[in-house]
Amino acid sequence: MRRAIFPGSFDPLTNGHLDIIRRSLPLFDEIVIAVLQNPGKNPMFSVEERTAMIGEILPLVEDGRCRLVVDSFSGLTADFARRRGAQAIIRGIRAVADYEYELRMALMNRRLEPAIETVFLLAAEEFSYVSSTLMKEVFTLGGRVEGLVPELVEAKMRGKRGGQTPPAA
* Residue spans per domain, the chain: 3-160
Q: Is 24 a catalytic residue?
A: no
Mean pLDDT of 111-120: 98
Q: Are 91 and 120 in contact (CB under 8 A)?
A: yes
Mean pLDDT of 83-93: 97
User: Pick the catalytic residue: 67, 82, 94, 144?
Assistant: 94
Mean pLDDT of the chain: 91
Flag whether pLDDT at 165 surpasses 70: no
Instruction: Give the count of alpha carbons within 13 A of 167, CB side only.
Output: 2
Mean pLDDT of 94-113: 94
User: Would you list the DSSP string of the chain?
Assistant: --EEEEEE--TT--HHHHHHHHHHGGG-SEEEEEEE--TTS--SS-HHHHHHHHHHHGGGT--SSSEEEEEEE-S-HHHHHHHTT-SEEEEEE-SHHHHHHHHHHHHHHHHH-TT-EEEEEEPPGGGTT--HHHHHHHHHTT---BTTB-HHHHHHHHHHTTTPPPPP-
Flag whether pLDDT at 158 surpasses 90: yes
Q: What is the predicted pLDDT for the residue at 96?
A: 87
Flag whether pLDDT at 1 surpasses 80: yes
User: Pick the catalytic residue: 3, 9, 17, 24?
Assistant: 17
**How does residue 169 score in pLDDT terms, banded at 50, 70 and 90?**
very low
Beta pairing class for 117-122 and 30-36: unpaired
Q: What is the predicted pLDDT for the residue at 38?
A: 81
CATH of 3-160, one of 3.40.190.10, 3.40.190.90, 2.40.30.10, 3.40.50.620: 3.40.50.620
User: Pick the catalytic residue: 41, 65, 83, 104?
Assistant: 41
Q: What is the predicted pLDDT for the residue at 163?
A: 57
Q: Is 46 a catalytic residue?
A: no
Q: Is 156 a catalytic residue?
A: no
Q: How many residues in the chain?
A: 169
For the stretch 32-85, pLDDT in tens is 999 999 877 789 999 999 999 999 998 877 777 789 999 999 999 999 999 999
Task: Specify the pTM.
Answer: 0.91
Q: What is the predicted pLDDT for the residue at 164?
A: 55
